[in-house]
Amino acid sequence: MAQSGFHGERVKDLLHLKDTPASLIMRSVSGVNVSATETRDDNPVPGLSGRIAPEDAYIVSLKLRDYPDCEYWENGKCVAKPDIRAGTTYLYDMKYEPGFVIEKPFHSLHFYLPALALDGIAEQSGARRVGQLDCQFGTGFQDLTMHHAGAALLQALRQPSEANQLFVDHMMLAVTAHVAQTYGGLRRLEALRGGLAPWQVKRACERLEADLGGKLALQDIAAELDLSVSHFSRAFRASVGMPPHQWLLHQRVSAAKQLMTVRDLSLAEIAISSGFSNQSHFTRVFSNLVGVSPGVWRREGLGAPERDN
């Protein structure tokens, strides 16, 4: 079956949304897209949802609003009427053409996971292909991992200028591995005993520092080191002590501290030069990592008045 993705216009058409929803997309190790899309409609058009062309892929849906007596369809027939509760996770197999009767306000975060992406995770860990997920489709689960991942990605969806691609790749890779392990029977990946070679750490850090804006994808850096994405991500953390996207935030803060020694630069100018999307983003990250705001740090360090503009 062809892989056509589940984001953008396809989600809009399925749920009869007025606007095309925003999505976060990662190119998986198997070359197919994995995505996360937030859908919400407080005043929906009543009726049966649109049709999903069958494909070998899954939708993992984190529900963000109660939806009692939800009429769930597969292959053109109603098969269940669950009382959906906010915070639960539902899995749908796109081969069965899942659909819904839309008659009440809804709010969800949908992850699109092609079978090829799940099998790519298995291949990298030396395990058998995942095959069919072993779960009750259309039935809610309490899945704390999906809940926490969803919360982090919702913030990225709502503030896309502050979400660097490294963070999106890291979270989507974690979600894909979690689904493969929890619902696909993949054995939990063993922790690496070692990390990257010194030259690999040096090269990876150089590439990250050269792109403080975080436009690089994990796949690009891993490919330069001739490693799989999941191997690189785990080995980098083992060597450096934090994931690549967090290491990048620390480098942005270090660059900002250097720039703050230049008295005639405003905090807004420093924020952009250090790879942050704006001054607010800069202030929030700096305060979290350093413990004080950039203005306070600059005043205490230089005895200079704070410049906000």
Q: What pLDDT score does 191 carry?
A: 44
More confident of the two residues 167 and 122: 167
Task: Quote the distance between the C-alpha of residue 48 and its chain's center.
Answer: 29
Chain mean pLDDT for the chain: 86
Confidence bin at 257 (pLDDT 50/70/90): very high
More confident of the two residues 227 and 56: 56
Work out the number of other CB atoms within 10 angstroms of the CB of residue 178: 19
Q: What pLDDT score does 164 carry?
A: 83
Q: What pLDDT score does 127 carry?
A: 66
Q: What pLDDT score does 125 carry?
A: 66
Q: What pLDDT score does 131 carry?
A: 74
Which residue bears the tokens 């060597």?
239
Q: What pLDDT score does 165 carry?
A: 86
Q: Strands across the sheet with 57-63, in order?
A: 23-27, 33-41, 106-114, 57-63, 89-93
Express each pLDDT in 127-169 by its tens digit. Answer: 677 777 877 888 899 999 999 999 999 988 998 888 888 888 9
Cβ neighbors of 214 (< 8 A, separation 6 or more) are: 164, 165, 166, 167, 245, 248, 275
Q: Are 111 and 60 in contact (CB under 8 A)?
A: yes
Task: Evaluate if residue 85 carries a pLDDT over 80.
Answer: yes
User: What predicted TM-score, i.e. pTM, was given to this entire model?
Assistant: 0.78
Q: Looking at this protein, which amino acid is placed at residue 125?
A: S
Cβ neighbors of 70 (< 8 A, separation 6 or more) are: 81, 82, 83, 84, 100, 101
Q: What is the mean pLDDT of residues 278-294?
A: 92
Q: What pLDDT score does 161 carry?
A: 80
Q: Residue 41 forms beta bridges with which residues?
A: 106
Domains defined along the chain, listed by start: 9-182 (2.60.120.10), 198-246 (1.10.10.60), 250-302 (1.10.10.60)
Q: What pLDDT score does 299 carry?
A: 85
CA distances from 271 to 261, 289, 300, 309 (A): 14, 15, 19, 11
Q: What pLDDT score does 88 carry?
A: 95
The encoded tokens of residue 306 equal 């704070």
Express each pLDDT in 30-80 by its tens digit. Answer: 678 899 999 999 999 899 999 888 999 999 999 999 999 999 999 999 999
Confidence bin at 1 (pLDDT 50/70/90): very low
CA distances from 213 to 13, 16, 58, 305 (A): 33, 35, 32, 28
Q: What pLDDT score does 197 carry?
A: 85
More confident of the two residues 156 and 304: 156
Task: Evaluate if residue 304 carries a pLDDT over 60.
Answer: no
Q: What pLDDT score does 231 carry?
A: 82
Percent of the chain with pLDDT over 90: 45
Confidence bin at 220 (pLDDT 50/70/90): confident
